[in-house]
Amino acid sequence: MRIAIFTSFLLAPLAALAAPAQEASGTLRTPPTRALDTRQVVTPAPCAPLNPPPTEEQMKARFDKFATAFLVTKNLTEAFSYISSSYKQHRAGVPDGPEFVLDILGPMWPNVTITDPRWTSNAEYGWLNYKTSAFGEIVDKYKFEAGCITEHWDEGEVYPTD
Ligand SMILES: *[C@@H]1O[C@H](CO)[C@@H](O)[C@H](O)[C@H]1NC(C)=O
Ligand SMILES: *[C@@H]1O[C@H](CO)[C@@H](O)[C@H](O)[C@H]1NC(C)=O
């Protein structure tokens, strides 16, 4: 069986939610594709590094777009256009790269209710904080490089207060 964790969403309750849906669909392949069900996610081209790199203000605007697509409009295709092909996951057992995340989130993201989303960033890092219907409160931390999101942490992250 596949590793049943991903970022902050793939906590145990989510894995429990995901497995029956995949079995029920009867279309799960190994490795899974973005066509797990009718709500498949179109995989965007990976984020291309910007040269020259964005200023802090420009990066803030890009992170606003990422966060809005991810948490508010829930358009994973748009959100993942800001994710680098070399996306590094700082959680044991979670593969690097955007594909794993898209495969897991695609079928279930429309069903996850997100409340109280907020986000902030500086030149180098961005943070998301939100509450989910099934998985509780989540804080994600991301690293930026040349306008793209290149790394992700979600274990014990603290939303900045300053
Ligand atoms: C999601 O974002 C993509 C890329 O920006 C866009 O082409 C697509 O129309 C959007 N989907 C919806 C439902 O808005
Ligand atoms: C998500 O919601 C849809 C529509 O209500 C339902 O058909 C589907 O089974 C749900 N999927 C999961 C993974 O809960």
- The confidence score (pLDDT) of residue 11 equals 39
Residue pLDDT, tens place only, 62-95: 999 999 999 999 999 999 999 999 999 999 888 9
CATH number (domain holding residue 93):
3.10.450.50
What does the pLDDT average to over 24-42? 46
| CA 13/CA 95 separation, integer angstroms | 20
List the domain range (segments joined by +) for residue 65: 1-12+54-157
From 47, 75, 76, 102, mutation site for ligand 1 pocket: most ligand atoms within 8 A of C-beta:
75
Q: How far apart are CA 144 and CA 65, in angstroms?
A: 14
Residue 33 within any structural domain of the chain = no
Residue carrying structure tokens 């256009």: 81
Distance CA 106, CA 80 (A): 11
Question: Is residue 25 over pLDDT 80?
Answer: no
> Is 140 part of a structural domain of the chain?
yes
Q: Is residue 124 part of a domain?
A: yes
Label residues 110-136 b or e (16+ Cβ within 10 Å = b).
eebebeeeebbbeeebbbbbbebeebe
Say if CB 123 and CB 144 are below 8 A apart.
Answer: yes
CA of residue 62 to ligand 1 center, whole Å? 16
Print burial letters for 29-62: b (CB count within 10 Å at least 16), e (below 16): eeebeeebbeeebebbebbeeeeeebeeeebbeb
Mean pLDDT of 27-35: 39
Distance 162 CA to ligand 1 centre (A): 33
pTM for this entry? 0.79
In a domain, 24, yes or no: no
Q: How many domains does the chain have?
A: 1
Minimal-distance CA residue to ligand 1 atom 14: 75
Low-confidence winner among 13-22, 70-79, 98-107 (lowest mean pLDDT) = 13-22
Contact 81, 98 (CB under 8 A): no
Phi, psi (deg, nearest 5) at residue 86: -95, 20
- The predicted pLDDT at position 40 comes to 64
Cα–ligand 1 centroid distance for 75 (angstroms): 6
- Within a domain: 86: yes
Q: Is residue 40 part of a domain?
A: no
Say what the pLDDT of residue 19 is. Answer: 37
Ligand 2 pocket list (CB less than 6 A): 17, 21, 107-108, 111
Q: Lowest mean pLDDT: which of 38-52, 98-112, 121-135?
A: 38-52
Beta strands in 45-124 (DSSP E): 83-89, 114-121
Whether residue 40 has its Cβ less than 6 Å from ligand 1: no
Q: Averaging pLDDT over each range in 30-44, 86-100, 117-131, which range is the top one?
A: 117-131
Give a yes or no: residue 18 inside a domain.
no
Give domain status of residue 153, yes or no.
yes
Cβ-contact 120, 58 below 8 angstroms: no
